[in-house]
Structure 1
Amino acid sequence: MIAVMTAIVLVVPTFLVSATTQNQSPDEKPQGDGSYSEKHEVVYATLDSSGNQESMYIVNNFNIEKTGKIIDYGPYTSVQNLTNLYELKKDGNKVELIADEDQFYYEGTIKNKQLPWNIDVNYQLDGKGIAARELVGQDGHVTIHIKTEANRKTGHEYYNNYLLQITVPLSTDHFSNIEAPDGTVATSGKNKQVTFTVMPEKDGNFTVEADAKQFEMDGIQINAMPSSMSIDSPDTGEMTSDMKSLSDATSEVNNGVGDLKNGISELANGIQDLQSGYKDYQNGINQLSVRSSEIINGSKQIQGALNEINGSLSSESGNMNVGNLKELQQGLYKMADGLKQTENGLNELNTNYQQAYQALDGAINEIPEHQITQEQIKKLYQSGADQKVIDQLVETYKSARKAKGTYKEVQQAFAAVPSTLDSVTGSLSEMRTNLRAMADELGKGLEQMDVAKSIQQLQNGLSQLSSNYEAFHSGLVKYTDGVSQLAHSYGDLHGGMTQLANGAHDLEDGAQELHNGTAELAQSTSDLPDEMQNEIDQMINEFDKSDFEPTSFVSPKNEKVETVQFVIKTENIKPNEEETKEPETKENKSFWDKLLDLFR
């Protein structure tokens, strides 16, 4: 009885107050128009297990400045007051409410209003697609795919500015070995929660995998809220300084490659001149080699004539008449003229040879003496430059070094040719002078008519000339043999020079290509620090939505909307409650029994 009386004392005043409030007269309501400082909307939406929208209602909250009548808008099919007992009046999309407290809430149900996101959820069991309802009670490896994207049938205001947080609740009674590559797995009591985040203006594509035992799970919850976090710009001073060093180093590399290209270009030009000089030199050597036989033949003829004249003078000195002596004088002059022509030919050959040799020597000396180590070549390969170009550089460098080394070995022989030619022409000039002197002396002797004495002198001179000329002829033969050998060996050297010239040309092209690449690299990295800072600022601005001002999701007529949030949930995937629920025994209880149940 004490308990019953206590219950009556507690409950009856409540009934009286409720009845009084419910039956308030219009005069007791706040009179006049009210006002509010801000409005908040929370959109609640339910989806089926695949993500298809099923129902939606909105809870509207007002911060009241002045109590009284307030007008709100929305295409609601029904509305419900959640704050007081005053009736809400709905006229089309217009809702009239009476607020008498600091906070006022009411709920409105909406049909055919689409969410700003398309949400798709599908399931697999042991790698095969399966409907969510068919999963209930199943065992096996389960994969859940969740995709979100902008709903093109609505505006992108929320898609561009809202962050989605997707939570997948998994009971450890039914799931194990949970994996979510792009999500965070957290423990909530004895359950696990897998959370994914979708940034504004981005689509979501996530996967959850787990081993299921008697599959059942609560619905997936998706919360959408403005990405209002303000992101401070990070301190990038040290990083930009490193980038500046990288940019400067890249520029220096480009300058170095430019100098290398210019050096290789000069080398290629020098090798081209060297090849041209080699060609002239080869032509001169070949001509000299070809004319060597002519020189030898001419020298043999001179030697034979001297021997013949000397023999004739010895055998016929007593029978020599003046006419024969005059013919001899003319023969000596002709021999002197022939030697003169030979001398002129050798002088011309010597001049051409020296020009070719100077061109060759200058071109060879223009090849740089740089010593490139294997370590430097290895670093060049590791620099990221074109491997083919580097191969050409190394091959040409080695060929140039080989050509210069070969030239140094034969340079002494090349340098000795002019002096040898000068010696030969000097000997020919001396012989020519002697022949003319002999002819002149013979002429004087004829004039003085002391023929016997003159012939004797002539015979002595010719005998001495013939003896000396034989030694000269032997040296000339050795010289021409050396020229022939030089011409033969020069063919191999010229072939190497041709290969070197071709390699230098390829090297020049490769160096140009390399310089173009480093120039492009230097240009692309010259503004790298500023570009990096701009990218960071752009990324920060992309995700910083702190200046976003939302508008009403329900109606553009609503004002002072401070926040709009979305709470979205898919249906639970569990056995039907009717199948698991035990039948209840229906009892007829009196009012007092029901009242006493409250305290039992």
Structure 2
Amino acid sequence: MKRIVSLAIAILLLFSSAVLAQPLIALPQKEEVVYAKMNPSGHVEEVIIVNAFLGQGRELFDYGNYTEVLNLTDTSTLRHGFTEVYAETDAQDFFYQGKVRNNLMPWNVTFRYELDGKVFSPEALKGQSGNLVIRVKVRQNEEVNPLFYENYMLQISMNFDQKYFSNIESEGATIASSGETKVVNLTSLPGKEADFIIQAKAKDAHLGQIQIAGLPFELFMELPDISQYTGDLTQLQNAIAMIAGGVSEYVGGVGQLSDAADQLEGGIGELYDNLGAIKGGMEQLHAGREQFDEGLRQYSEGMQEFKGGMDQLVEGIEQFSSGIDQLREGSQGLAQGLQTLASEGDKLVAGSQQILAGFEAMDALMSFPLNDAEVELLLSILQTFSASFDQFAQTVDATDFDTFIALLNDALTRFESSMARMDEIAAALDSDVIKANLDISGSSNTQLEATLSYVEHYRQKLYSETAELRAIHASLNGLKPLVQGMIDSLSILRDEYEVVRGLISRLNTTIQAFNPEELSQLKEGIQVFSAAYGEFHNGLEMYVGGVKQAAIGAEALDKEGVAQLQAGAGEFAGESEKISSGVNQLAEGSQTLSDSHAQLMAGDRELISGMGQYEQGMGLLFSGFGSFSRGIGELAGGGNQLRSGANTLRNETSNMSEQMKAKIEEAMGDFIPGEYELVSFADERNTGIQKVQFVYLTQAQSPEETVEEVVVEEPEKSFWDKFLDIFH
């Protein structure tokens, strides 16, 4: 029974100490820092308030719903009731802390951890690897005075050791480096719920410390004075009226631009349509140029062939001139030979006349009886006659009639060949024939026309030379019958000569073997020989007369015909070289013209290609301008709407100053701290509150370490200590 009474007395004593009487002193000014111990999920496990009394008196009284208090300044004892704390101190600045009973904070902050899409608790996350997503939510705690939620901002700082985390990202966050730690800073504005997402690459994840600071919201910038924007609104209203007028003029101008754009679009369309015809014409022109180029190429090739022919022609003319020189030499030799033959013929006729007279004398002598002296004389005459006839026979034999005939025939052949060659040359130099061969009929090439005119001039001159040659040829042909007569006479003369020679041979034999008894036989032989020789002598006279006429004709032919032909052939050979030089220049010019036209063809191809590109560009321009024209039409329609809107703007801005002021105040509402009266978080009965701050803290996860348990021997407790432990 005594024990029960003692226990009751002790309880009454303890209860009386928990409820302290309100002191007569005034409540001091103080600052509060509220610390919340939080786990990594955001659950608040413990709240401690550190109270600071700066520059206060010796006696301090404070309210707070604490389970326990601790003097942080000195060793003096605090008197602690259920919600009251009393202290006496000599310290100028006094600090103590109290452990709050309900663990409530103005903000509920939660952290959700997802690794590779799966939700993990902080404990299960430890040591894991993968793609980490942390979702942070900030919400109001409805059980706490809303003053702090509505006027305080939260600064959330999460630490990530780069040994465990990399590629850290968070939209809207500020990420800073502190040594090997990345710090992600998130800010929640007063009165606003907030959601944040942090992403990182985890490897052997160990969560770092989380720090949250709740501070009064202060604006760190000077907001503009609204009056400077509303003072000149009258001018702005006038400007709006001018804009409305200008918009009306602008819309009218856009309408005119739209009409002009339609006309321009039509013009571009017509140009685009005509481009096809232009390009087609260019292609036809190019096709014609290709045909012309082919003809020009053939013309150039023909000119090269013509040049080769002219070179051969010049060579033929030179050969012809050389042949004429040989012809002149032959004609001179022919005339000299005929003159020599005529001179020798006179001698032959004179000798033959003496022989004939001798035979006639012998024949008369044989008509009378001959004595020995006369016989001797006759024998002497016969021997002299025989010697003279042998000399005459030698002279006739020395005459080379075959060579003469061959020379005459060769001259005639050369004349005929020269005339045929000159006819071929003259025909080849015909300008009409040249144009036909070169396929350039109707050409307007002045250089070609000049060359052809030059060629035609010398073609006519060649024809003139050919006429002279033909006259000489006719003369030779006239000489040929005479010469042929000479040849025929010579043949007869030779036949008669052989007869006479045979008679002379027999006569000589008879004379050598003569005796008087054979005189009658000798007389008969001389009579026969005399008659035969008379016919031979007559033929010889006719032959020598023909030779003289042929010599006269040959001399005239050489001096008057062949000599002039030789001079003309030399002149013509010189002029043919000029013709060849002109043809060479013409051939070079044709090649240059062909090359130049090839360049022109290349230019045509580039022009046609450029026309194609230009046509494509015009097509794009036409299409683009169509879009532009339609856009201008839409712009005109939009201009009408703009004009209507400008008029509406002008009507709606009559009270613009008040409207602007209201809008500015509304826009700056989130950035202007609200007016509020700061209260104590520990207990609203406290007055003189200077500052209240909030701090949330978590412990960082650290690698497992083996810690040896240390056993501390506690001193033996007194009865009173054991009794107080009941309430701990």
What TM-score comes out, normalization by structure 2 length? 0.39
**Structure that is richer in helix per residue:** 2
Computing the radius of gyration from Cα coordinates, the structure with the larger value is 2
